[in-house]
Structure 1
Amino acid sequence: MSTQVKTKWTIDAAHSEIGFKVKHMMISTVTGHFEEFDATAETESDKFINADFNFTAKTASVNTKNKDRDAHLKSDDFFNAEKYPEMTFKSKSFDGSTLVGDLTIRDVTKEIELDVDFNGIAVDPYGQTKAGFEATGKINRKDFNLTWSAVTEAGSIVVSDTVKLVIDLQFTKK
């Protein structure tokens, strides 16, 4: 058991984005993100190895730049934002390039793996220490009870089961 004091980091929301991409009719990609989210990290070193990452996003804050689509995503066909207002992620391990943790959407928790580029640490013009990350991964939305499906007349699936996660995070050292 380590006796080293852990360093706490909080999300710099102005320089972060929790995004996703999903194929529409298998011919184009729709992108979206969550407007309201929070994240923290606790580290024992500036390398962030085995850091504890925690994340929450308000499902009702989903934004795909289309009000009708956003309303559909907030409905019971997808997030059911009224009943399940948050999605969460809690890390289990981080080796510097792979982040493993439990993602909970709706009432389902599954372990996922994200590929992470740790872009390093820098001090901003105001003297605050920042750490930057880019993370990507894929989930199957149906694993999380986001099961709505439709098929076009030509037989194309309207919304792909695979969702690409594209996450840019900047943390501020406390």
Structure 2
Amino acid sequence: MKKYILLAVIMLSALAANAQTTWTNDPQHSRLGFVVKHLMISEIDGRFSDFNATVITSKADYSDAKITLEAKVASINTDVTPRDNHLKSADFFDAEKYPTLTFKSTKLVKLNAKKGYIYGNLTFHGITKPIRLNAIFFGKIINPMNKQTTAGFQVTGVVKRSDYDLGPKFPEAMISNDVRIVANIEFSPNK
């Protein structure tokens, strides 16, 4: 009988070790931002105010993580309402026709305990392209406010707006072709 109990404990421990955990972003402490150069002399930044990011992993170091992100294009915010409305129009994102921006990871490559690359497919404006993003893991703590485990990450990268047919009427001398992505995200596991 003791053998069976020991076997059951070992099997349950193995299952628990491989159990998947789903982490979701904390909207109040997460930001999905971007930066473009304007007239080649200044930088303008903005963000998508309404987005959800999910990480599904069974490993504490996130090396097997599957990451998905969805942002509502209509939530674009550069703190200038006329510019935001123009960005939502058919000249740029065409938010009415293409209401969401999505990212789905395909592979993670760890460089060390805190840094790595996230490979995946970015879709917006009706176009999907593979991209590579840089990731920095800031650490994990128990949040004193809600008593939940919280992990912090920064994800950065560059996409070309021409790859997504975004604002083709506007030359690079007006708006840079390179769009820097800067996302700072706090995740907690779903309960």
Normalised TM-score (structure 2): 0.85
Which of 177, 181, 184 is the equivalent residue of 1:165?
Answer: 181
Q: Quick one: which of 121, 136, 139 aligns to 1:117?
A: 136
Alpha-carbon distance in 1 for matches of 2:183, 2:169 = 25
Q: What SS is found at the alignment partner of 2:83?
A: helix
Q: How many residues align?
A: 169
Which residue pairs with 1:32 in the alignment?
46
Structure 1 counterpart of 2:121, from 102, 107, 110: 102
Contact 1:10/1:40 (8 A) holds in 2: yes
- 1:68-87 equivalent positions in 2, closer than 5 A: 68-87=82-101
Between 1 and 2, higher relative CO (CA 8 Å, sep ≥ 6) is seen in 1
Structure 2 match to 1:60: 74
Q: Which has the larger strand fraction?
A: 1
Superposed CA deviations along residues 89-121 of structure 1, whole A, max 9, x for unmatched, are 000111231011100011100011111101121
1:72-100, Cα deviation, whole Å (9 max, x unpaired): 10001111000100000000111231011
Larger Rg: 2
Secondary structure class of the residue paired with 1:142: helix
Task: Name the amino acid aligned to 1:7.
Answer: T
| SS across alignment from 1:91 | strand
Q: In the aligned structure 2, how far is the partner of 1:150 from the partner of 1:79?
A: 13
* Greater per-residue helix proportion: 2
How big is each residue's C-alpha offset from its partner over 1:141-163, in whole Å with a ceiling of 9 and x where there is no partner?
A: 11012033335xxxx71111110
Amino acid in the other structure paired with 2:141: A
Q: Tell me the distance in 1 between the aligned counterparts of 2:36 and 2:127.
A: 20
Q: Which residue identity does 1:46 align to in structure 2?
A: A
Selected match of 1:45 from 45, 52, 59 = 59
Which residues of structure 1 form unaligned runs of 5+?
none
Indicate the RMSD between aligned Cα atoms, in angstroms: 1.5
Specify every segment of 5 or more residues in structure 2 that has no aligned partner in the other structure, as ranges: 1-14, 111-115
